[in-house]
Every structure is written in structure tokens, then in C-alpha cells.
A and B are shown apart, each in its own frame.
Chain A
Amino acid sequence: MTGDPTHQVFWFASRALGIVAIALLGVSVTLGLAMAGRVTRRPGLPARLKLLHEAATLVTLGLIATHAGLLLFDGYLRPDLTGITLPFALAYRPVFTGIGIIAGWLAVLLGLSFYVRKRIGTKTWRTMHRFTIVVYVLAVGHVVGAGTDGRSWWTLALLSALTAPIVFLFTYRVLPAPHPLRALHRRTVMSAALAGGTRTT
């Protein structure tokens, strides 16, 4: 194996697709959280977001498969099918590649569960779907720990840009919504105060 970059084209392509896969995974998780948190209620927008969320998830799954599959053709790493499908079987940075493989399988399981939600029950599907955030966390761990460019400034900048909205939307989703009666009471007090203010002027 020489250092000629043309001999490493599959390695480079796998890395590049991995970067795009994490970016699209971040977008997909952000869209999912935005829908779940009902951040926007503009008519027609939730349906569009859902469509984009579904398409982004499917393309992400394809990118993950291609990212792993291209490694089979890398003459330096030379992994076999077991190495790219079984966690911790690959000799190269086994912990972090293992984390990536777990994230990949979890993404397949959670992503495709949407299509069998009627069979497994919507409640079960919703419970399962909440674990999507775990896929993202594991994927970020895989990128930083196993990626050749994982600690470069531009990868860290990309991960920060992807993670910030996810953290915001996740926190927004997890925090309890205001109690309807308390909100009603606050509105009444506010309008009474405003009415009082109007009278005095």
C-alpha cells in the first residue's frame, strides 16, 4: 500500500459520506423534535416537516449503509462483513467503531419502525421513537472517537451547529408545558391588569 491518495479513494468516500450522514441525522432529529414539541403551528407546515423528516431519515439510513459498505473496499483497513456489522469486532478503534455500529443498527430499527407502527401499536412506537436521541448521541461519540477528522476544528464546528438546536428543542420538549388552568388564570389576571390600566388613563 502506497501513500498515493487514489488508492485510498474508498476510505475518503466513506469518511465524506459519514460526515454527510451525521449532518443529515442531526437535521432529521431536529425536525422530529420540532414536530413533537409543536414549535410551529403554521397551517400545512407540520405535514411538510413530517415529509422532510421521513425523507431525511431514509436518506440518512442509506448514507450510513454506504458509509459502512465502502469500507469493505478499503485496501488498508480490510474489514470483513462481520467487522462492519457486529459491534466491537473491528480491530480499528474498536470501542468507537462499535458505538457507531450500535448507532447504525438502532437508527435502522427506530427509523423503519415507523412503517410497522400500526402493527406494534402507536404507543409502543412513540416510546421507541423517543430513543432516537440516543442514536444521535452515539453517532456523535463515533464521529469524535473513531473519525480521522473527528477532532478537527471544522468537524467540531459542524457538530456544535447540529447539536445546539437539538439540545434546545429536546429541553423544550422535556420541560413541562404550562398547566392549562394556570395559563387561563394568568391570561385573566393579565387582561384584568390591562383593563385596569386602560381605565386609569
Chain B
Amino acid sequence: MTDSNGQPANSGGARRGWSLYRTLLSLSVAALLAAWLPFSVIYINALTTRVSMVAKPSFAIHGTGASTGQSVHVLAPVTTRTS
């Protein structure tokens, strides 16, 4: 079955399908690459925040060891996670 131009009747549909597939694939690749930028910013931000927190440790627990009687300082866990 052909259309008025002698082309197969479904060639328009097939062409549209291919165009959609091509656009979809290109856009997916672009989206994944675009996600790399905020990912890097978030990652580097977490890394630098952690470094500054490690450099300035906070002592969360103060007290005296039950058996030894010596003063005990326990470092607070280092986390950059706020949520």
C-alpha cells in the first residue's frame, strides 16, 4: 500500500517513530550529562564541609570513665547530612 507519492503508507508513522526515538535518546543522554553538574556540586560541597568539620572536631560526650576514673572525650560522629 502506497500513498500519493509512491511511498509506503506507514512511512510517515515510521519516520515519526524514528524521529521520536532519536530525540528521546538524545534528550536522555543530555539529561544524564546535565545531572552530572549538580551531582558534582553537591558532592564537592559535602566533601569540603566534611573536611572543615574534621578539622574542627566537636566533643559530644564529656565524662569520667567508670573503671579508670579518667576524663573521657568521645568525638561526635562527623556527618554533613542535614536531612
B17 to chain A, nearest CB (A): 11
Asked if A8 contacts B35 (CB within 8 A), the reply is no
Which segment of B1-9, B19-27, B60-68 sits at the interface?
B19-27
Q: Which of B9-65 contact A (CB under 8 A)?
A: 16, 19-20, 23-24, 27-28, 31, 34-39, 42-43, 46-47, 50, 53
Closest to B24 in A: A55
Query: With A and B bound together, what is the CA distance between A13 and B83 in angstroms?
Result: 15
Size bracket, chain B contacts: 20 to 34
B-chain residues with CB within 8 Å of residue A59 when the two chains form the complex? 24, 27-28, 31
With contacts defined as CB atoms under 8 Å apart, how many contacts are there between chain A and chain B in the complex?
74
A-chain residues with CB within 8 Å of residue B37 when the two chains form the complex? 16
Chain B interface mostly: helix
Asked if A76 contacts B46 (CB within 8 A), the reply is no
B-chain residues with CB within 8 Å of residue A159 when the two chains form the complex? none
Question: What 0/1 readout, one digit per residue, does chain A (91-112) give for beta carbons within 8 Å of chain B?
Answer: 0110000000000000000000
Assess whether B78 is interfacial by the CB under 8 Å rule.
yes
Asked if B24 contacts A5 (CB within 8 A), the reply is no
Assess whether A156 is interfacial by the CB under 8 Å rule.
no
Query: With A and B bound together, what is the CA distance between A55 and B20 in angstroms?
Result: 7
**When the two chains form the complex, which single residue of A9, A16, A92 contacts B35, counting CB atoms closer than 8 Å?**
A16
Number of A interface residues at 8 Å Cβ cutoff, please give it. Answer: 31
Not counting A15-B38, A20-B35, a sample of 13 additional A-B residue pairs whose C-beta atoms are within 8 angstroms of each other reads A1-B77, A4-B50, A5-B43, A8-B46, A12-B42, A13-B39, A15-B42, A16-B42, A55-B23, A55-B27, A59-B24, A92-B83, A148-B82
Q: List 22 A-B contacts (CB under 8 A).
A: A1-B79, A2-B77, A3-B79, A3-B80, A3-B81, A5-B43, A5-B46, A5-B50, A8-B46, A9-B43, A12-B43, A16-B35, A23-B34, A24-B27, A51-B20, A54-B20, A56-B27, A58-B24, A62-B28, A92-B83, A148-B83, A149-B38
